[in-house]
Structure 1
């Protein structure tokens, strides 16, 4: 089961849903109609993109919290289990809150209508509906246009990046993938974009034109230079995000811009504190001095990881502990990791889409490599011989490893 501890609610409340991915909005719209359309109660900032969604939402939540705003967030995948995917003011929801949502879904006859992710999306909006919140931060599950999160009448759209991923669902070109991402833009609304490739940018502007919406573009309309953010009359200096990687500066800027155009007043001292304190589990997450976890799971995120490691640890030996899903571009990802990896540990983990570690082992050109048949065999305390150890390849792999090791 992909969504950990989700099945127990389905069983308890006798609600059925499919485990497969089925892009499309018809069924979830029908379900929401039965529930009174809870998705339209709050102001929403909707985040899509190939990479950068998580860190952008991490900045959004930090900024909201520092400014005393009440907020809900819905993100993927889980780090511990399903409860941390839905949070209120940074705190995972309780079993009682999930039970209440499922009880209502059972009462309104939702069973059998939806996929698992659609059902979880409905639960999130039902939980948010019961609370007075200033804003919701919603992360797209996959794509955008046909993703179950794309059901609000109004929202501010944010797209940090676009690259090739999920080609079996979204298409095999930047243009096709961009069309899906651009679909989260609402009529007469605004879209905030990062530094996108020109073909992707063209799709964004075309979508905005069709929907009478505005595009606010990083490095064109707003920017970060020498630790200073500027947009129109707004200017915030001495911004020092602690998340590792240069790309986090643009994601920080996207978050600030999205809040400003949503009508929230931001104060420079609070922005400074928020961006410094923003954290994201599983993205160059420092476990200790020589151990990091990064959920790089596609070509672009592995590229970003490798560049970050080159910059941060130019003279260090790097040991990779890797678990990847079989529907990813794993050979391309592995070739990139081999550019800087001194040794490799390939691990089998419990996910129905997990790639057999033997495949990676056989593909790997580095002679210093081993296979671990299960996550329980990984010893994170036995890496003192390596300068730096990086756990990567999949958030699902990282989540299982964290659970088994108690990190």
Structure 2
């Protein structure tokens, strides 16, 4: 799957890359060596895991911004196009900054060496190298151990959650998936983890022991109770995240802890303001009126979405607009959504791994359901008689919906 508008720069600077997923670090490490290893010139907080990565980086960014901490962030996938994946102090990378990075990659002879995501990762490090920022926030693309973001010598690793996802690349068990994610731990580094199931936690603790990594755990070393965060002598009260869902309290706490462990001094009033402002496109994002986007795309994130709906929208009628990738456990996802849904609209979209809307329709047990074959025909505001409309199933689907509707 091509990264939207990335080809503009590849063609302009004649730097070729493959539009495939190819786990492994040899190629990107060789490329970074040619560029003087820009990835090792900053403090880095590296966020991996299954769900909660984007929200955690949104909290990190908001808290840093409110404290005057300068930062760069690299996230995936894009929401609109490639420019929103690389940000400096919350601002999208500019075409001029992209051009400077590509000029360096062209001169270093990187054409044909990398996959698209590897090339984009290198681009991000080059953009950050040009700016004197205090810290980088990196989101692992998939897995961790062999993910192209896992190329720095030192970092603080943050793992919000572990669940089953990307089984064709990472394995089918929690232990196999955790082994991939635990690869982001660094020798004599630090690991900040959320509440993990025991099978996952054991894998991380084993890896941490092997690498002499310090482990800081949510609800063991730091806690949030009654909207109060406590970690050692640090206590911040009246923390009310703008992003809704119980899991966001954990993501918020992980972010505060990671910044503290990174050596930053945080203030209660500024942290209160920051968490109340932190938001993320496509995570229970209210785009207008009664319409929300949520990028839930696997069983764990769908579970969190359903619990959020039950808590925040009890007794409301819920209309779902859904697009899902075919390598997901879409039947289990549908069963959970049917618990709270009043009507379902399944949409054909253009991702190469998109599941057909007809297949979703066939497996949905709810009686009120339709298929929309052309994503351009989706009218997200047509169900005004429904209390809440939620667009969900895939971040790629949400991105395409937004590009069509301008929302």
TM-score by length of 1: 0.99
Offset, 1:137? 0.1
SS in 2 for 1:183: helix
Contact (CA 8 Å) 1:318, 1:387: kept in 2 or not? yes
Q: Does 1:73 align with 2:73?
A: yes
Indicate conservation of the 8 Å contact 1:2/1:351, yes or no. no
Matched-pair contact (CA < 8 Å) for 1:80–1:403 = yes
Paired position in structure 2 for 1:255: 255
Give the corresponding residue for 2:172: 172
Q: Within 5 A, what are the aligned runs for 1:49-68?
A: 49-68=49-68
In the alignment, which residue of structure 2 is the partner of 1:124?
Answer: 124
Tell me if 1:157 matches 2:157: yes
The alignment yields a C-alpha RMSD, in angstroms, of: 0.8
1:335 is displaced (CA, Å) by 1.3
After TM superposition, the structure 1 stretch with the greater mean CA deviation from structure 2, 280-289 or 189-198, is 280-289
State the partner residue of 1:30: 30
Matched residue, 1:357? 357
Matched, 1:2 2:2: yes
Describe the SS at the equivalent of 1:158: strand
**Separation (CA, whole Å) in 2 of partners of 1:43 and 1:241:** 26
Farther-moved stretch of structure 1 (365-374 vs 37-46): 365-374
Contact 2:77 2:396 survives alignment (8 Å): yes
Structure 2: any 5+ residue segments left out of the alignment? none
- Deviation (angstroms), 1:24: 0.5
**Residue of structure 2 in register with 1:393 after alignment:** 393
Shift of 1:233: 1.1
- 1:341 is paired with a residue of what secondary structure? coil
Preserved CA contact (<8 Å) 1:327 1:353: yes
Greater alpha carbon shift after TM alignment, 151-160 vs 233-242: 233-242
SS of residue paired to 2:184: coil
Deviation readout 1:226-283 (Å, 9 max, x if unpaired)? 1110111111111111111011001000000000010000011001000111001100
Counterpart of 1:347 in structure 2 is 347
Establish whether residue 146 from structure 1 lines up as the match of residue 146 from structure 2. yes
Unaligned regions of 5+ residues in structure 1, if any?
none
How big is each residue's C-alpha offset from its partner over 1:324-351, in whole Å with a ceiling of 9 and x where there is no partner?
1111111111111111111100001111
1: CA distance, partners of 2:260 / 2:235: 11
Task: Give distance in 2, aligned partners of 1:33 and 1:405.
Answer: 42
Q: Is the Cα contact below 8 Å between 1:74 and 1:124 reproduced in 2? A: yes
Cα distance in 2 for residues equivalent to 1:376 and 1:275: 35
* In 2, Cα distance between equivalents of 1:112 and 1:187: 32
Separation of aligned partners in 1, 2:313 and 2:231: 34
Partner residue in 2 for 1:265 = 265
After the TM superposition, which residues 287-326 of structure 1 pair with which residues of structure 2 at under 5 Å, given as runs? 287-326=287-326
Q: How many residues align?
A: 407
